[in-house]
Amino acid sequence: MIGMQSVLSLDDVHVVRDGVSVLGGVTAQIAPGRCTALAGPSGAGKSTLLRLLDRLEEPTAGTVLLHGRPLPSYDVLEVRRRVGLVQQAPVLLGATVVEDLRTGRPTLSEDEAVELLGRVGLADQALSRLTASLSGGEAQRLCLARALAVGPEVLLLDEPTSALDAVAAMSVERVVRALVADGLTAVLVSHDLRQARRLADDVLVLRAGGLEEAGPAAESRYLAGAS
């Protein structure tokens, strides 16, 4: 059965919006403990597919599965706990670093908060620091830590470095690589083919709402031109 050897999978998924096919018949699997990039030209359906994986959007037809079970068979809050999402631009929800970390998990202890900050390369940050004073790279890494606070199995990353300068973007990439090395499953939407090659173990290439290519990133024809 589709999905039994994967964390997340899509079985003949269609999305029709205002009479227009956004995704058409996509069948794919997301392997555990690896980074899968969703690549393809603008308008190919990458962000729509990512939203399906977190139940922020529902397919018109077909099934999205988590560990072989259709997503609607889970409570939506359980899905959001097990499948975290980091948006393109960092959105901070608390006035201080620790308050932001606790928005998803109010019982988070200070020791746990410090450990989370260490995981995302913010070990030198004070828990009481005002989030308004954080740089763009620091803010995005805090968003990563906040997503990790609830213990997700999968982290969805929607263009997580596109709003950052080159130095900040590389710091976020280092965090993502370290998280995957620790066993987290990541799904990355990126228009930057070089970034996809640097981070991804696997790639799903979408074009005009269809799946054009699926397999190891190192063997991808679509990513072959990236350097």
With 0.85 as the threshold, say if the pTM is over it. Answer: yes
The whole-number pLDDT of residue 107 equals: 95
Contacts of 77 (CB under 8 A, 6+ apart): none
| Distance, CA of 5 to CA of 205 (rounded, Å) | 21
Domain boundaries, the chain: 8-219
How large is the C-alpha radius of gyration of the chain? 17
pLDDT band at 1 (very low <50, low <70, confident <90, very high): very low
Q: In terms of DSSP bridges, do strands 202-207 and 210-216 run parallel, antiparallel, or are they unpaired?
A: antiparallel
- pLDDT tens-place string over residues 126-147: 999 999 999 998 999 999 999 9
Q: Which CATH architecture has domain 8-219?
A: 3-Layer(aba) Sandwich (3.40)
| Distance, CA of 168 to CA of 166 (rounded, Å) | 6
- pLDDT tens-place string over residues 21-42: 999 999 999 999 999 999 999 8
